[in-house]
A and B are shown apart, each in its own frame.
Chain A
Amino acid sequence: MKKPSRHASFSYSLYELLSSMRFAIGLLTIIAIASVIGTVLKQNEPYPNYAFEFGQFWFVAFDWLGLYDVYHSAWFLTILAFLVISTSLCILRNGPGFIKDMKAFREKATDSSLAAMQHSEEFEAANASPEQLQGYLAAKGFRLRQHRRDDGTLVLAAKKGAANKLGYFFAHIAMVVICLGGLLDGNLPLKLGELFGRVVAETRDLPQSQIPEQSRLSTRNLSFRGNVTVAENKSADVVFLNSGNGYLVQELPFIVTLKKFHVDYYSNGMPKLFASDIVVTDKATGKETPATVRVNHPLIVDGVAIYQASFGDGGSPLNFKAWNLASPEMPPAPITGVSLSSQPLRANGHQYSLEFGEFRQFNIENMERSKAEGAKSLSERMHDAREVKRDKNLKNVGPSITFKLRDEQGQAREYHHYMSPIEQDGASYLIAGMRKTVSEPFQYLRLPLDDEMKIDTFMRLRAALKNQALYDEIARRSTAKAMQGSAISPAMRQQFEESVKWILARFGEGGFSALEQFLDQRVPADKRQAVAQTYIKILQGAVVDVMAVANERAGAKPLTQDGRHYRFLLDSLVAASSLNDYGVPVFLQLDGFTQVQASGLQMTRSPGKTLVYLGSLMLVIGIVLMFYIREVRLWIRLGNGRVRLAMTSNRHNRDLDEDFRRHRDAIQQLVRGA
């Protein structure tokens, strides 16, 4: 025998290794472990998030390892490629043998090999008729072949369940087909283009038209999956693909125009329907296709599937009342703007940049205050456990807008303003939130609303609180009232008036914190509590007069004196005090809007899908054949008045023992002779 050359033996052992079971199991394990990484580490986040989370060193290291997009990293794809190679080689290696085996009946099996089989028995046969036995086997679904040996004995070789081997082919070819389909959709040409620098991801935030050619993909691109946001009555003819730290622009063969976006809610406030009415215009022919795209109901045009992916604000025109907080006597000025855009704002001699965020028409909030679980009795709990329906106290609190006001130094505060009155504990408020940095939660102001559900009365009161010219009149009325109620003696009149004026001045200047600061600095600790209570009492008495004076001067109807309105005044004090920390000298009250929605559409072209589905079908067929078709072979050797029965199967289990017994009994009956 010729000795194989070293080279040949190396490639042969490589072939052996790659096509081996051991290697395949190893690959399955490695793929499983590698897949875990991508589920633990959030994939495809913006890069700064990773840098922030891991620190510079690990950020760079993980980036180098491709951990931010594991499933598209070179090493992961290489492992998958090895799985394809390994499976293919496994088919090549075992295939020919399996096919031969499927065809063979092994009718030339020797006596000794038949005797050595696990299920094998020999017995006397007085009257063995081959025809009768053939009939029996055929009735049992066997295919058979006979072989007359030189010594005159006859061997009937029968088998069934050859499809079991077919299952092997189906399942393993399926894996290769699925992987190839996936690879096709993974867009290898694009990956290579990126690798060799022909395609470069854009990382800057540029208008679509200015994005350079090297970041654009033509309509000929084989497969893609990208997103685009289109506002109502606007169009798009590209989608954006995520790519590492940046994005690529994919040209589309058509233009998508969003006519209208719909969102419906269930009675409990949960979203029920997201749908976009779109018109698709073919660039080449100009043909227009109107359609509605819903979640679970994509539209397929030109091999591109268009999905409803997300929704949001599309830049809504807004009207505001701008209240000048530094000059509270001034009436509010009307301002217009558009959400998701920026505009300059001049207030109190300072230049600001007004950066609008998202406008939301609906804000569904859970108003539920459920009873503490511990306080429930057993029967209440049982009642709850039986109840499949509970009306959640969800409420639409109406439109809201977020915006930032950035000063000349570039410092910005962020605001979150609601438009509609929101009821809390029985009174109505305008809610406005403010925060200094994105990381902290919004702090909400509650501006109390008057009988007309406006903030005008509150603003009038606030103006009067800050107007020192009114203090004399206010102090006079407060003092008179105090004397009428015999709360103070006439001797104290002058002193009380001064106190009222002093407290109003302090409060007007800096709110409650200014009073508190004074107490902390000037009053001994043991008396602070008592003095503070006196101040508050005086302030709470005076505010009624502040309101009355302010209303008289404005020619407005006086406030009815009742508990509800008194609460309004107390709330006003709190709000006026809090407004001192508002940060900018202008309060923008959202006053009107024209909603323009935007729809996030995902568009994909995946030519590999057909292959993947074909592979999936083959996989299921393969698994069924492999597990549920048992390959059985059976031999009957007749001669010299004896019969040998032998049986094998590719799988041994209890059923096989039972089957063998039954065949043996039946055949023994047949050959015993009539």
Chain B
Amino acid sequence: MELAYSFDERPLWQRLNLADWLFAALLVVAAGVTYYRYGAYMDVYEQGILAGSTVGLIALGWFWKAWRLFLPLAGAIALVAIQLYQGDLARGQSAFWLRFVLSSQSAIMWMCTLFFLATAVYWMGLLTRSALLGRMGTGLTWSAAVLGFAGMLTRWYESYLIGSDIGHIPVSNLYEVFVLFCLITALMYLYYEAKFAARQMGAFVLLVISAAVGFILWYTFDRQAHEIQPLIPALQSWWMKIHVPANFVGYGSFSIAAMLGIAQLLVSHGWLKDKLPSAELLDEVMYKAIAVGFLFFTIATILGAMWAADAWGGYWSWDPKETWALIVWLNYAAWLHVRLVKGWRGTPLAWWAVIGVFVTSFAFLGVNMFLSGLHSYGTL
């Protein structure tokens, strides 16, 4: 993600091809239709978020070309599902395509299955050094992400079918953010995989996604946590739409960094050395993931503070979640300092990144499980 410089010195707009412009036009039209149909129900901040996310998604597509295909595909699948519903939620259990593929829960279950498959295929590819299996792993991961993303969009629509006052963006409870976590981690990984041409990393990154998928399955089948609940007053805010996704870019990147840290430790101990990419490459991707994660985590924490100033009476209350966010932030701030200023490399930083993800998981999950506070929206 170095914006610094590219050898192509033509201005950005000259470097864009037809597909880039088509993608942008598609998104602008989609945003326009959304505004035309639902603008009256949005407050000025939500209209701002609509405009901002349109620009942001276009920019992401221009920066990362695969996104130009991914986003419209997931959107199209969600639109098909929405058409099939015909405004009746009960059709989710009766209409064939909804029942088996396209209803949000079916799509998410397919996502879970595909992530498990991708993990297995990546590992087989790694151990047999098969490029074909590696490519299959990539394909499965992409498919999982497409279905998961479409499922989330469909879930958003389904929430409005339950009740017009109940509808909300699906990032409001632990179940929904776990799906979000899987999606963001997978997508960020796919970006790095393409950029560094190192599919072997998938075996490690998909492990953490599989762990999250395992949690989703348990949470669904044992706790029925997948049911859509209305928003309590504290969560009825446009801040949620930006605070939560920003946070999960952070969590996702830190997880990728930790998994690459493990891979790097294995390589430096001589295990799988002939099968994995070099320790230097893993180190570089790990650094890049932590850098982008740190940026987004900082933004998310600031957004959270601004939301808290609207909702809880102060931008900082030393609530357990806030405090643990600070601890996570301090941890990675220290990590980046010793790397950039002290010039540390290799094993100690890899270990630190692995430990860091435990600190991060505690902030993400442990706080909800073991500590009480203002931020207790997801309990187990």
Instruction: Confirm or deny: A388 has a beta carbon within 8 angstroms of a beta carbon on chain B.
Output: yes
Stretch at the interface among B34-42, B207-215, B337-345: B337-345
Contact A182 B227 (CB under 8 A): no
In the complex, residue of chain B having the shortest beta-carbon distance to the beta carbon of A370? B224
Q: How far is the CB of A637 from chain B (nearest CB, A)?
A: 22
A25 to B306, CA, bound (A): 27
Mask, B306-319, CB within 8 Å of A = 1, is 10011111111010
> Which of A194-202, A495-503, A580-588, A617-625 contacts the other chain?
A617-625
B320 at the interface (CB under 8 A from A): yes
The reply on B233 being an interface residue by CB < 8 A is yes
User: B306, A613: Cβ atoms under 8 Å?
Assistant: yes
**Which residue of B99, B166, B367 contacts A386 across the interface (Cβ within 8 Å)?**
B99
Contacts of A389 in B (CB 8 A): 89, 158, 162, 227-228
* Cβ contact of A604, chosen from B221, B226, B299, B314, cutoff 8 A: B314
Contact call B2/A387, Cβ cutoff below 8 A: no
User: Which of B100-108, B126-134, B141-149 participates in binding chain A?
Assistant: B100-108
Residues of A close to B12: CB separation below 8 A: none
State whether A627 and B291 are in contact (beta carbons under 8 Å apart), knowing that A619-B298, A620-B298 are contacts in the complex. yes
Is B25 located at the chain interface by the 8 A CB criterion?
no
A160 to B162, CA, bound (A): 56
Q: Which residue of A is nearest B235, CB measured? A: A296
Check if B53 is an interface residue, CB within 8 A of chain A: no
A381 within 8 A of partner (CB): yes
Once A43-B318, A604-B313 are accepted as A-B contacts, the answer to whether A32 and B330 lie under 8 Å apart by CB is: yes
Q: How far is the CA of A138 from the CA of B249 in the complex (A)?
A: 36
Q: Is the CB of B233 within 8 A of A273?
A: yes
Q: Smallest distance from the beta carbon of A161 to chain B beta carbons, Å? A: 6
Closest CB in chain B relative to A627 CB, distance in Å: 5
Chain A nearest CB from B151 CB (Å) reads 11
Q: Which of A7-46 contact B (CB under 8 A)?
A: 21, 24-25, 28-29, 31-32, 35-36, 38-40, 42-43
Which of B62-70, B259-267, B321-329 is the contact stretch?
B321-329
Residue of B103, B106, B315, B371 with most partner-chain A CB within 10 A: B315
Q: Across the interface, do A616 and B367 meet the contact criterion of CB distance under 8 Å?
A: no
Whether the pair B5, A21 counts as a contact (CB closer than 8 A) is: no
What is the CA–CA distance of A651 and B339 in the complex, to the nearest angstrom?
Answer: 11
Chain A, interface size category, equals 35 or more
Interface pair A39/B316, CB less than 8 Å apart:
no
Does A141 interact with chain B (Cβ within 8 Å)?
Answer: yes
Stretch among A50-58, A262-270, A351-359, A437-445 lining the B interface: A262-270
B228:A388 contact, CB within 8 angstroms: yes
Q: Which residue of B lies closest to A650 (CB)?
A: B340
A383 to B221 alpha-carbon distance, docked (Å): 10
**In the complex, how many residue pairs between chain A and chain B have their CB atoms under 8 Å apart?**
176
Residue in contact with B305 in the complex, picked from A38, A295, A612, A655, CB distance below 8 Å: A612
Is B379 in the interface zone, CB < 8 Å from A? no
- Using a CB-CB cutoff of 8 Å, which residues 133-172 of chain A contact chain B? 139-141, 160-161
Contact A385 B236 (CB under 8 A): no
* Given known contacts A35-B326, A606-B314, A272 and B230 CB-to-CB distance under 8 angstroms: yes
CA distance A31 to B309 in the complex (A): 23
Q: Is the CB of A31 within 8 A of B330?
A: yes
User: Nearest CB to that of B284 among chain A residues?
Assistant: A653
Q: Does A307 lie at the interface of the complex (its beta carbon under 8 Å from any beta carbon of B)?
A: yes
Are A271 and B318 closer than 8 Å at their CB atoms? no
Query: Is the CB–CB distance between A620 and B367 below 8 Å?
Result: no
Set A271, A305, A609, A651: member contacting B232, Cβ < 8 A: A271
Q: Which residues of A contact B162 (CB under 8 A)?
A: 388-389
**Interface flag for A124 (CB, 8 Å):** no
Are A381's CB and B221's CB within 8 A? yes
Beta-carbon contact of A160 and B5 below 8 Å: yes
How far is A24 from B341 in the complex, measured between Cα atoms in Å?
Answer: 12
Q: Are B93 and A270 in contact (CB under 8 A)?
A: no
Task: Give the distance in Å from the alpha carbon of A415 to the alpha carbon of B47 in the complex.
Answer: 52
A520 at the interface (CB under 8 A from B): no
One of A71, A185, A295, A659 near B233 (C-beta < 8 A):
A295
On whether A29 and B313 interact (CB within 8 A), knowing A140-B5, A294-B233, the answer reads no
Q: Which chain A residue lies CB-closest to B366? A: A39
Q: Which residues of A contact B338 (CB under 8 A)?
A: 21, 25
Q: A296 and B233: CB pair below 8 A?
A: yes
Residues in chain A near residue B106, CB distance under 8 A: 386
- Shortest CB–CB separation between residue A229 and chain B, in angstroms? 15
CA distance A295 to B312 in the complex (A): 8
Residue on B nearest A161 in the bound complex, by CB: B4
Q: Does A47 contact B (CB under 8 A)?
A: no
Contact B331 A387 (CB under 8 A): no
Which chain B residue has the least Cβ–Cβ distance from A164? B4
Given A43-B318, A386-B105, A619-B298: A38 in contact with B313 (beta carbons within 8 A): no
Output the least CB separation between A397 and chain B (Å).
21
Q: Is the CB of B224 within 8 A of A384?
A: yes
Name the interface residues of B269-304: CB closer than 8 Å to any CB of A.
Answer: 281, 284, 291-292, 294-295, 298-299, 302
Shortest CB–CB separation between residue A257 and chain B, in angstroms? 20
Interface membership of A123, Cβ < 8 A:
no
Please give the distance in Å from A390's CB to the nearest CB on chain B. Answer: 5
Interface: A98 (CB within 8 A): no
Query: Are B105 and A388 closer than 8 Å at their CB atoms?
Result: yes
Residue of B nearest to A269 (CB): B230
B237 at the interface (CB under 8 A from A): yes
Q: Which partner residue on chain B sits nearest A71 by CB separation? A: B318
Assembled-state Cα–Cα distance A602/B374 (Å): 14
What B residues does A295 contact at CB under 8 A?
Answer: 233-234, 236, 311
Cα separation A24 to B340 with both chains bound (whole Å): 14
Partner of A385, one of B4, B105, B159, B228: B105
**Docked complex: A569-624 residues within 8 A CB-CB of B:** 602-604, 606, 609, 612-613, 616, 619-620, 623-624
Q: Is the CB of B4 within 8 A of A602?
A: no
Chain A residues numbered 162-198 whose CB sits less than 8 Å from any CB in chain B: 182, 185
C-alpha spacing A620/B300, complex, angstroms = 11
Q: Does B92 contact A (CB under 8 A)?
A: yes
> Shortest Cβ distance from B205 into chain A, in angstroms?
20
Could you say which residues of chain B place their CB within 8 Å of the CB of A654? 281, 284
Q: Determine the chain A residues whose CB is within 8 A of the CB of B320 once the complex forms.
A: 39
Bound CA–CA A419/B320 (angstroms)? 39
Q: Does A629 contact B (CB under 8 A)?
A: yes
A630 at interface, CB cutoff 8 A: yes
Q: Does B171 contact A (CB under 8 A)?
A: no
Check B268 for interface membership: any CB of A closer than 8 A: no
Q: Specify which chain A residues have a CB less than 8 angstroms from the CB of B5 in the assembled complex.
A: 140-141, 160-161, 630, 632, 659
B1 within 8 A of A: yes
- Given that A272-B233, A604-B314 are contacting pairs, would A387 and B309 also be in contact in the complex, using a CB cutoff of 8 Å? no
Q: Is the CB of A266 within 8 A of B226?
A: no
Q: Which of B220-248 contact A (CB under 8 A)?
A: 220-222, 224, 226-230, 232-234, 236-237, 239
CA A85 to CA B93, docked complex, whole Å: 63
A122 to chain B, nearest CB (A): 23
Q: A42-B372, A385-B109 are in contact. List 16 more A-B contacts (CB 8 A).
A: A28-B334, A32-B326, A35-B326, A160-B5, A182-B316, A268-B230, A272-B233, A295-B236, A296-B236, A309-B313, A386-B92, A388-B105, A390-B224, A616-B302, A620-B298, A659-B5
Q: Which residues of A contact B (CB under 8 A)?
A: 21, 24-25, 28-29, 31-32, 35-36, 38-40, 42-43, 70-71, 139-141, 160-161, 182, 185, 225, 266-268, 270-274, 294-298, 305, 307, 309, 373, 381, 383-390, 602-604, 606, 609, 612-613, 616, 619-620, 623-624, 626-630, 632, 651, 653-655, 659, 662
| 4 tightest Cβ-Cβ pairs between the two chains A and B | A295-B233, A630-B4, A39-B320, A602-B313
The 19 sampled A-B contact pairs (Cβ below 8 Å) are A21-B338, A29-B334, A42-B372, A266-B230, A267-B163, A268-B230, A271-B232, A273-B233, A296-B233, A387-B92, A388-B155, A606-B314, A612-B315, A620-B298, A620-B302, A627-B294, A628-B4, A630-B5, A651-B340
